[in-house]
Homo-oligomer: A and B are copies of this chain.
Amino acid sequence: MEVEVKAKKAKEASRKMAVLDTETKNRALINMAEALLENADKILKANEKDVLEAERRNLKASLVDRLKLDEKRIKAMAEGLKEVASLKDPVGDIEEMWIRPNGLQIGKMRVPIGVIGMIYESRPNVTADAAGLCLKAGNAVILRGGSDAINSNIAIASILAEAAYKSGIPEGAIQLIENTDREEVNRMMKLNGLIDLIIPRGGTSLIKNVIENSTVPVIETGVGNCHIFVDESANFEMAKDIIVNAKVQRPGVCNAVETVLVHKGIAERFLPVMVKELSSHGVEIRGCELTKRICPDVKEATEEDWATEYLDLILAVKVVENIDEALEHISKYSTGHSESIVTENYTNAMRFLKSVDSAAVYVNASTRFTDGGEFGFGAEIGISTQKMHARGPMGLKELTTYKYVILGSGQIRK
């Protein structure tokens, strides 16, 4: 019953949070950051337990690395909270206000969503990031991290909740579910009326489970099978730089490119240049038949490659007849995250922008820019790959909703 009790407390807290002034919220964020730094030892001790347990269970080295905290990572969490304090508070903004013929003034006011449930995996820094962003946007948050990081999460969440409470934030605004049973999360996803939104962050199976079982609204964050289309008129140098950047700069993230489509008219000249450059960066290429004919050393791509988010130094390459085939391929395999065209042709640039149905559609830029910070939003809580409520990088504004405020002078409906 932990989750029900905590959700009820969160709901109560959210009512008080909604009318909290920005100064109080900012002061709390600064104090939360300080508290993390002051209690670093406590966090590291708890984290050590998690890491030892993970090693005992022979968890993959990459997962253990995600889990592991050190002074530097704790400092980064604290910096993150301070950055959120410096961001503009969207709550109370009236974005539009118009007047009706009968004199009613109607405004659209930004307000918090209420109670947000975060369901995530092993990275304990999500605990601090999510708590900070939800708090600044005036929401109460219920955190449900992975069992791997439970000791770290309990330490971080209790430090944050205490610092927030001491700074005037209502009790229950930041709560962690300590029971790591699967049953607990299943019940959490059914708490309509208490939880307003659930944001899952993690691998495909976690996200799929939440979408299939949650009756509370969900924002899908997600998988990025991102494409770059090199058009016939592309500047080769630019195309090469963009592709290398999008694949190599940080291959393990969702906005890295996974498939490059190359216009047939330039394939013979461009592919050798591109393959050479990528190979020098250690990228394995998996090409279509035509790619293999032009660059015989590349591996052959299978149907599966077009649909794969490698998150690794591997790139699928396909030669296409024209922009139509490129659009067709993207429409079939894209996960709706980020796609880019490299072209000097105005009409094709506009057509690509209009036709591609993804959260971020680029002309002549790397897909790696799909990120709250790069978009100018400050911190982000995730990147939405679905279409309802929020799409692409989600910052503070995406953690709010709106209500209509209507100023009358006695109007009645005729």
* Chain A residues in the interface with B (C-beta under 8 A): 15, 18-19, 92, 98, 100, 104, 106, 109, 111, 113-114, 192, 196-197, 211-212, 215, 217-219, 235, 238, 241-242, 244-246, 249, 331, 353-355, 357-366, 368-370, 374-376, 386-389, 391-392, 401-413
Contacts and interface: CB of A to CB of B under 8 A. Distances in A.
A262 B72 CA distance: 58
A398 to B, nearest CB: 11
Given A369-B406, A412-B241, A413-B245, A106 B354 contact: no
B388 A197 contact: yes
Given A217-B217, A387-B114, A412-B366, A361 B241 contact: no
A329 B109 CA distance: 23
B401 A387 contact: yes
Contacts of A235: 410
Q: Ordered nearest first, which 5 A-B pairs have the shortest CB separation?
A: A365-B408, A245-B412, A368-B413, A389-B389, A238-B410
A313 B211 CA distance: 42
A407 B355 contact: no
Contact of A388 (B98, B363, B389): B389
B361 A405 contact: yes
A403 B384 CA distance: 11
Residue among A114, A368, A407 with max Cβ neighbours from chain B (10 Å) = A407
30 contacts: A15-B331, A19-B354, A19-B355, A100-B375, A104-B365, A104-B369, A104-B374, A113-B388, A114-B387, A211-B215, A212-B215, A217-B217, A217-B387, A219-B388, A357-B403, A360-B403, A361-B404, A362-B406, A364-B411, A365-B406, A365-B408, A365-B411, A369-B413, A387-B401, A388-B401, A391-B401, A391-B402, A391-B403, A392-B403, A392-B404
